[in-house]
Structure 1
């Protein structure tokens, strides 16, 4: 539904509130996009200025063993692993920002809004298993410099992983619902 001005007064007020809040959220969601673009620059700077701090942050970010001692090769591999969820998050924030921008411009009950919500859900759902796999690979990567017998493969998942997957699936279903509601609303408009 695009805000047209022929809605009842109560509906216009609710739609105007959705637009107002969405304008604010469209602006707010630009901050994480910019922030996520700055992270690689900071990582490169830390690699040259303070490799120990970079190593500690990578081990923490990847939830790897705290006893890891990264070499230049394993540091690079850990950076590549850490970049995967970062890229997914960046993509997710871009789609969220577009969704809010669409709402702010009055494109609320539209098939595109439903598709965007489904894309967000797919990204969020993917973050769960991706995080599990990355943590497992990272456990091997950061333990490669260790002597034989002290290398580690750790596989596990937690409630955050499950919650992420469930939240993503919820968004996918809500996106399908929004698409269907937009289709029904469009059919109803054509009858009038």
Structure 2
């Protein structure tokens, strides 16, 4: 791939990543405001904690008080904000690549922060799931209230990928050091 194509592709990926960040946060809120989106055959059937609450646990959003809906939006957004932070570092990495900064320490730092954010996303999802389930079923009759804990194989895969990203970030940091040494030597 010629360099100009790589630069343009990196610029496009930075824009796409920014749209993904905004889209996932807006879509999460929309799932709680417009319940039809979260129906079992709707767009949000498998989306984040909100999709789990709405489809798998059959939470009736229409029955929630306004403050429960607002709380659900906030609590379900916490893991997405951690993910958005990682995606923002990925966007900044693409921007560095668009400036042809392939072996910079800054690029390695951004990649490392992507890995840490994925770990934070998994951990915050694990913590927020029970909070969200209690909040969403708070006014349900006795026997129908939920306290849900979830850790799936997808979480293990995400943690493995985060570890791989962290190792690659360290390799990139070392490559950046070697590149700097070579430039100063020559």
State TM-score, norm by structure 2: 0.79
| Structure 1 vs Structure 2 CA RMSD | 2.8
Counterpart in 2 of 1:130?
A: 124
Structure 1 residues not aligned, in runs of 5+: 1-12
Alpha-carbon distance, 1:146 to partner? 1.4
- How far apart are the structure 1 equivalents of 2:77 and 2:141? 27
Alignment partner of 1:25 out of 6, 13, 17: 13
Stretch deviating more after TM superposition (145-154 or 156-165): 145-154
Aligned match of 1:6:
none
Output the CA distance in 2 between the equivalents of 1:60 and 1:40: 9
For 2:3 and 2:10, the matched residues in 1 are separated by: 10
Deviates more, 1:65-74 or 1:114-123: 65-74
Counterpart CA distance in 2 for 1:83 and 1:39 is 10
> Residue 66 of structure 1: which of 38, 58, 64 is its match?
58
Matched ranges for 1:44-83 at <5 A: 47=33, 50=34, 52-53=35-36, 61=50, 63-64=52-53, 65-68=57-60, 69-83=63-77
Which residue is equivalent to 1:5? none
Count residues in correspondence.
175
Q: Any conservation in 2 of the 1:127–1:164 contact (CA below 8 Å)?
A: no
User: Residue 52 of structure 2: SS of its match in structure 1?
Assistant: coil
Deviation digits for residues 120-155 of structure 1 (CA, Å, limit 9, x no counterpart): 111111111211221222221112111233322121
Conserved 8 A contact 2:29-2:73: no
The 10-residue stretch of structure 1 (98-107 or 126-135) with the greater mean CA deviation from structure 2: 126-135
Stretch of structure 1 that moved more, 65-74 or 54-63? 54-63
Larger Rg: 1
Aligned to 1:150: 144
